[in-house]
A = this chain, B = another copy of it.
Amino acid sequence: MSEPIAPRIVTAAVLLIGDEILSGRTKDANLGFIATFLGSMGIQVQEARVVTDDRDRIAEAVNALRRTYQYVFTTGGIGPTHDDITADSVAHAFGVPIGPHPEAMDMLTRHYEETGGEFTPARQRMARIPEGARLVANPISKAPGFQLENVFVLAGIPIIVQIMMDDIAERLESGAQMIARTIDCQVGEGAIAEELGDIQKRFPAVMIGSYPFFRDKQYGTSLVLRSVESVLLHEAVQATVDMVEKAGGQPVERDGS
């Protein structure tokens, strides 16, 4: 007789970066979301830290956490302003160089061409990515996060954290394989909210996320469907695509990663 296989414990830590939570002015909304999200994948958040915008403090926390837990998720500090030092701090923690990432530069160049904004040196800072890192997509405001080994560097704005978690879900080990599919469409989410809710009710095994965006001076919505059940996921995606078409929303399936 063989032993039963013990359930695999997958652990994680969350590192919130930024002065604003520590001053008491801002209540963090990301820890609860990330913990719940990971929990649904069987990944347990076992520690969280909040540090100021200080390179050495960030690097020290990143190194302590990445050696102790299977995954580390950071939030905040990847924007264009002087206090956005997370990417540099993470590069420092790993002892790797940092520089403009070609794909991130292309993506942001295109984004500012499309939106008519100037791709200033400050904005170009958002394409600085540590060597060896893999990008994390940001369909809302484009500036990417990144993954370096077991550390995931995310934005600070909760809605972007949420869509980034959807992007990286498939890179994480969990009890069962979670599959995500993303449908972009050209209607505001308010226009399809009820129908989407009905689809969610029909497919309780599929988690459906709805993320509004504003692009090319137009509102749109990214719909992210996740499930460990591939057949049900396929059916739910089909139902969603049909529903969006009926609403005149020109659904386009985007690559998961």
Contacts and interface: CB of A to CB of B under 8 A. Distances in A.
Interface of A: 18-27, 31-36, 39, 44-53, 57, 79-84, 117, 120-123, 125-126, 140-141, 156-157, 159, 180, 182, 188-191, 193-194, 196-197, 200, 207-214, 217-219, 224, 226, 257
Given A47-B57, A157-B212, A193 B32 contact: no
A4 to B, nearest CB: 25
Nearest to A198: B82
Contact of A213 (B46, B57, B157): B157
A48 B49 contact: yes
Given A79-B190, A122-B190, 13 more contacts: A19-B209, A20-B211, A24-B31, A24-B35, A25-B182, A25-B224, A27-B27, A46-B51, A47-B52, A82-B200, A121-B194, A156-B212, A217-B219
B24 A45 contact: yes
Contacts of A219: 141, 214, 217
A187 to B, nearest CB: 10
B50 A23 contact: no
A240 B1 CA distance: 73
5 contacts: A20-B224, A22-B48, A23-B45, A46-B57, A212-B217
Contacts of A189: 79-81
Contacts of A50: 31, 47-49
B217 A214 contact: yes
Contacts of A209: 18-20, 53, 83
Contacts of A123: 190, 193
Nearest to A155: B212
Nearest to A143: B190
A27 B32 contact: yes
Q: What are the 3 tightest A-B residue pairs by CB atom distance, in nearest-first order?
A: A24-B35, A122-B193, A24-B36
A116 to B, nearest CB: 12
A210 B212 CA distance: 21
A35 B47 contact: no
A47 B156 CA distance: 17
B46 A52 contact: yes
A50 B33 CA distance: 15
Contacts of A213: 157
Contacts of A207: 19
